[in-house]
Amino acid sequence: MSPTLVEALNDQMNYEFYSSHVYLAMASYCESQNYNGFAKFFLEHAEEEREHGMKIYKYLQDRGEQAIITGFGDPSNEYESVLDACEKALEHEKVVTSRFYNLSDIAESEKEYTTISFLKWFLEEQVEEESLFETVVQKLRRIKDDESALFIYDMHISHDEVE
Ligand SMILES: [Fe+2]
Ligand SMILES: [Fe+2]
């Protein structure tokens, strides 16, 4: 792998850890508002992002490269509502998808077939991730200001919205 590709993989690994932080902050916001179902949903998602980061970590090590751990900016801890947090989660996933497209472009240009194959899993995962948050956002937009409906959705979200 070229230094450019290794750097891009490292960058994405750290971005996955950052994503984990973003969802942890969203979980904390939901919990502070007593939406414990949404908090659990985001906590589970934070775990998943950490696993994504570790997948890239392991890939780098398996290819004889050192995974370089860096920081990213602070995630936002302030949201206007559960809907606002979920809309931002959806936007975040779209950014992640475009990052995997860029990574795939680099791997393609280098004819790095092993990495192209490795990245396929993430591209497919992103389809699931975007679809998941699209669903949540759509349901929340339908619920709007109906507190009772939101109360019920909060009870069911971590059972209903699984990939
Ligand atoms: Fe991810
Ligand atoms: Fe994700």
78 assigned to a ligand binding site: no
Position 39 scores a pLDDT of 97
92 assigned to a ligand binding site: no
**126 φ/ψ angles, rounded to the nearest 5 degrees:** -65, -30
Residue 130 Cα to ligand 2 middle (Å): 8
CA–CA distance, 150 with 163 (Å, rounded to integer) = 21
Position 93 scores a pLDDT of 98
- Cα distance from N-terminal residue to C-terminal residue, the chain: 32
Contact (Cβ atoms closer than 8 angstroms) between residue 161 and residue 139? no
16 assigned to a ligand binding site: yes
Position 160 scores a pLDDT of 80
Residue 77 Cα to ligand 1 middle (Å): 19
Among all ligands shown, which has an atom nearest to the Cα of 23?
2
Among all ligands shown, which has an atom nearest to the Cα of 22?
2
Tell me the two tokens of residue 111: 């004819």
Position 140 scores a pLDDT of 98
Position 34 scores a pLDDT of 96
For the chain, 163 residues long, the average pLDDT of each consecutive 10-residue run is 98 98 98 97 97 98 98 96 98 98 98 98 98 97 96 92 72
49 assigned to a ligand binding site: yes
Architecture of the domain spanning 3-160: Up-down Bundle (1.20)
Residue 48 Cα to ligand 2 middle (Å): 7
Position 130 scores a pLDDT of 97
Position 163 scores a pLDDT of 62
Residue 6 Cα to ligand 1 middle (Å): 18
Domain ranges of the chain: 3-160
